[in-house]
Structure 1
Amino acid sequence: MFIKTSNPAFKDFGDIVYDDMDFSSSHKINLNNKFIDNLKLVTNDYTFIKVTKGVVMILVSFDSNNIKSFIINRSLHIKKGIYFNFISISDEASVEVLTNTEFKSITLDNPFNYSNISSSLDISEIYTKFYQEKGTNYNFSGEKHSYWELTYVDKGELLTTIDRVSYHLKQGDLIFYAPMQFHTQSTFEKISSSYLTINFKMNFNHADLLCNKIFSLQRDSYFIVTRLIEELSNDNLYSDDLSLCYLKELIIQMLRLDNSHFHSKPTTHMQQTYENELLNDILLYIDDNIYEKISVSTLCDHFCISTSMLHSLFRKNMNNTAKNYINELKLSKSKELIRNSTHTLSEISEMLGFSSIHYFSKKFKSYFNISPTEYSKSIYN
């Protein structure tokens, strides 16, 4: 996550300049670099920087080894003894440097290379979309084609072969066929199958990460498939765009999935619906009572469920614990209250049920990496 120079963490390296300064005698530097192998040392107390074009990252360090990075969002004064240099985040950028001295340069042992945030896979078009329901003893003799194909088994079981290798898919399983992979599909003698098939155009340079393996969906991926099927089935505004987004999200989830850590998936639609409704009621209750002292036992008593069931609901659907979720929600609420500037920090601490202002400040800084006081000052500035 990027940090701006207006963040209090930058204060060790320099200060924000809020007054208009005369940069008419400054030196202009045009940037398009994503790589630097040196840092410049500030040798006096008169070095000011202003971005005049594009998005610029400044790299700063005390010793040229432990380098910190910030996005420049204000004119800056860089302190004496600080090493610095620039990276252009946008394609082109420029800065003006106002100083009365020459900088000393030092070569980095480990050059800094910035990688743009960009997509590693691109899905440009969905060719076909079928939800197929096949009875027992169905047999498709096979085909190969120049585009990607996805098959997700919604119910029952399906047998598929890819280049003569067999794969047995069960409910909740998903498989990909890469371009020009010959594949067949069939059902079993006593087991039917309902499954989603999508043919699509995708640019992706790591096909081996998706091919020749079965993916068993976790619950978050199951929700993505549900939304994908819904959008593929209607003609609402931007449904096509959402379908492409959900398909890409699903593929990314599969790429990140470690099957060895897979624990659970929905067994039936009824079970999933029940758990979703219960969890939704619990989340609404927490939100409505955020100013009260809420504990795990409070939730269990109110909803007549066991501690283990509550833990399972949050672990499988929120990837979190109920206790952590409550604390995180309270801390997020405290940020909102600080931004509103209608209560003191002591009042906010008491309103949200923290035992003391010191405990509140400790939890706040631990979670947001900034104290409530510093955060309040940064909002004011």
Structure 2
Amino acid sequence: MAYLKSPLQQSVVISDIYTFYYHELSKTFSFPGESHNFWEMLYVDAGRIEIFAYDTSFIMNQGDFLLLKPDVFHMSRTADQLAPNSVNISFECDSEAIKLFENRVISLNDQERNLLAEIVKEGFSTFQPRIDTCPESQSGVLRRIDAPFGSEQMIKTGLERLLIQLVRRIANPQNNKLSFPSKEHKENDLIEQIKTFMKENINLSFSLDQLCSSVNIGKSQIKDIFLRRTGIGLQQYYLELKIIEAKSLIREEQYNFTEIAEKLGYGSVHYFSRRFKQETGMTPSEYAKSIKSRF
């Protein structure tokens, strides 16, 4: 019997990547503007950013997604004098479908944010530096020699999947509501409760007993669910959350290192500095200098 092959249809194809950045911006960040002949994705992971593009200015809030089409002049700067974080990925795509994103800011839902988080995590393992510490380069991405097998393809397919899901949501607004299985929905709610508890108690030492009491669940179960859903342990997530907050406070330049250490519940500024360097590879002073040297 002869079999006929059927080429798979490809509705969105990303052929090349130009830049892949996770930006930790200063409170005074201001980008004078540029245009280029490829698509650029901007996602605000924390804070607010003011954008000028498509002949108008607008504010992007945490969770907002924007895709800038080729040759559109765009500028950006920090809004509200707070230090924001953003994801910037630029790429080549000739697919007709993504023209739907022109002049459109989209607030990502939980499913889309999780997918983008997977893409960023893969990018951390694939390209360097993990967090940018120098101005953007026009020489392309810097590949890590220890990148996991197939990591660039994972980024490509992840981005394509994200764009396809967004096209579907925009084109079919009546299907926007997500239907989670009951167990998955409950676990998502639990993860959000855990993260909220940690943020509200970021100035204290981590207490598993207090966390379990707050969300009304046992120790073994909470550790299992959190690790399975996030890929990281509770203690490590809490330590990383403290470092993220420390970075934000350093960039906002309102407190000295001793005050930041106190606000985040570190026993001393020396312990804070040591933990900061263990997590980031830089001392707080070196991190502050790297921020100022970028812009």
* TM-score of the pair, normalised by structure 1: 0.40
Distance in 2 of aligned mates of 1:222 and 1:183: 24
Q: Does 1:54 align with 2:40?
A: no
Question: Which residue does 2:16 correspond to in 1?
Answer: 125
Alignment match, 1:194: 85
Equivalent residue in structure 1 for 2:110, among 202, 219, 229: 219
Q: In structure 1, what is the equivalent of residue 121 of structure 2? A: 230
Aligned match of 1:160: 51
- In 1, the alpha carbon distance for the partners of 2:19 and 2:190 equals 33
| Partner residue in 1 for 2:191 | 275
1:133 CA drift (Å): 1.2
The answer for the alignment partner of 1:141 in structure 2 is 32
Q: Secondary structure at the match of 1:192?
A: coil
Amino acid at match of 2:120: I
What is the CA-CA distance between 1:255 and the residue it aligns to?
1.0
- From the superposition, tell whether residues 161 and 176 of structure 1 become closer, same or farther in structure 2 (CA, over 3 Å): same
Deviation at 1:189, TM superposition (A): 3.6
Residue aligning to 2:208: none
Which structure has the larger Rg? Answer: 1
Q: For residues 125 and 187 of structure 1, what CA distance do their matches in structure 2 show?
A: 29
Matching residue's letter, 1:254:
L
Partner of 1:251: 163
Structure 1 residues not aligned, in runs of 5+: 1-51, 56-89, 92-115, 265-270, 279-302, 306-316, 318-381
Contact 2:44–2:86 (CA under 8 A) maintained in structure 1: yes
Q: Which structure is higher in RCO with an 8 Å CA cutoff and minimum separation 6? A: 2
1:261–1:184: structure 2 CA closer, same or farther, 3 Å change rule? farther
Deviation at 1:169, TM superposition (A): 0.9
State the shift of 1:260 in Å: 8.1
Structure 2 Cα separation of the partners of residues 189 and 263 of structure 1: 32
Distance 2:2 2:14 in 1: 32
Deviation of the 1:137 alpha carbon: 3.0
Q: Cα offset for 1:304? A: 6.3
The percent identity for this pair of structures is 24
Match of 1:240 among 152, 161, 164: 152
CA deviations 1:43-88 (Å, max 9, x no partner) are xxxxxxxxx3223xxxxxxxxxxxxxxxxxxxxxxxxxxxxxxxxx
1:152 CA displacement: 0.7
Flag structure 2 segments of 5+ consecutive residues without an equivalent. Answer: 126-146, 179-186, 195-214, 218-228, 230-295
The structure richer in strand per residue is 1
CA distance in 1, matches of 2:216, 2:25: 42
Name the structure with the higher helix share: 2
Q: In angstroms, what is the RMSD of aligned CA positions?
A: 3.0
Could you tell me which amino acid in structure 1 is paired with residue 3 of structure 2? Answer: G
Q: The residue matched to 2:121 in structure 1 has which SS? A: helix
Work out the number of aligned pairs and report it: 167
What's the offset of the Cα at 1:249?
A: 0.9
Paired letter, 1:257: R
Partner of 1:350: none
1:181 match: secondary structure:
coil
Structure 1 residues 273 and 124 mapped into 2: Cα distance closer, same or farther (>3 Å)? farther
